[in-house]
Amino acid sequence: MNMRAIGALQVSVIGLGCNNFGGRMTLDETATVIDAAIDAGINFFDTADVYGGMKSEEFIGQLIGARREKVIIASKFGLPIAGQSAGASPAYIRSAVEASLKRLNTDRIDLYQLHQPDSAVPIAETLGALNNLVQAGKVREIGCSNFSVAQLREAESASHACGFVRFVSVQNDYSLLQREPEAGVLAECERLQIGFLPYFPLANGLLTGKYRKGQPLPEGTRLSKGIRAEETLTPRNLDVVEALIGFAQSRGHTLLELAFSWLLARPAVSSVIAGATKPAQIYANAAAANWTLTPDDLARVDTLLVQPA
């Protein structure tokens, strides 16, 4: 497994998204996935205090044990938990980190991320509180999520002006089917040397290859019914998926491998975060990073993504 940098951290280019732990997955099921991830060379585990009704952090804390030095634990704060107020105020950050540290059964969080911007709190106040956590050794690096170019620049300016630690990562929605970060955030990450972490790299499962045009939907998946399925499984998206499958197969690869390798072809991308509910998915995700796309491959993919609306 190749490694890339997020600040002072060296993380596997495929990360493990832990949002299913404690929700869709029991403790025993989580254990098999964590074991497989470590076996496959994945050292970057991304969770959040809200995941799995706060069970995700607890499961990780119970299961990592003596392997703590082998993994990089990233967590997030800022979203409401059980209907309670949250955000990015210094007081809330101080309480949130202590709760996460207890659930994770660890003395530090390697990458502590603001889950979403908080317009009610000046970013300098948030950074000041995070700076204190780094100085206290409770956090190693800090990051953010769902930030725009303007918000990244504001945070960078505040860090520089106040002498605080800076965001070394940003985690936004990015995939073959959701390319908004290309409008500026990716370039800003390169300029500021901020690691970009794509979430939903498989577009809620659409880029796994399980959903095919003209074929019945697989049962029991997140896109088998509901508004998310209606918004995602559009005729245009399914046409794009068929075109991408054809391209990947012509190169001896799968759609999954294309989805991950295409993201890793972006210099700003540090790690592709992908969830898994079974060990087999872990091994497939880990192997998907092994395809190095050529400039011609990337150009061809661009043409396939431009399908009629």
In a domain, 236, yes or no: no
- Which range marks the domain in which residue 79 is found? 3-207+255-292
Which listed residue (51, 92, 112, 211) is catalytic?
51
249 domain residue, yes or no: no
**Residue 58 counted as domain residue:** yes
pLDDT digit string, tens, across residues 192-224: 999 999 999 999 889 988 878 777 777 666 665
Residue 239 placed within a domain: no
Residue 191 in domain: yes
- Domain CATH number, residue 69: 3.20.20.100
Q: Answer yes or no: is 214 within a domain.
A: no
* Total tally of structural domains belonging to the chain: 1
| pLDDT of res. 234 | 81
In a domain, 265, yes or no: yes
Residues 79-96 pLDDT 10s: 998 778 899 999 999 999
pTM (2 d.p.): 0.93
Which of 4-18, 69-83, 117-131, 152-166 is the least confident region? 69-83
| 283 noted as active-site residue | no
Residue 267 lies in a domain: yes
DSSP secondary structure string, the chain? --EEEETTEEEESEEEE-TTBTTTB-HHHHHHHHHHHHHTT--EEE--TTGGGGHHHHHHHHHHGGGGGG-EEEEEE-S-STT----S-HHHHHHHHHHHHHHHTSS-EEEEEESS--TTS-HHHHHHHHHHHHHTTSEEEEEEES--HHHHHHHHHHHHHHT---EEEEEEE-BTTB-GGGGTHHHHHHHHT-EEEEESTTGGGGGGT---TTSPPPTTSTTSSSHHHHHHS-HHHHHHHHHHHHHHHHTT--HHHHHHHHHHTSTTB--EEEE-SSHHHHHHHHHGGG----HHHHHHHHHHH----
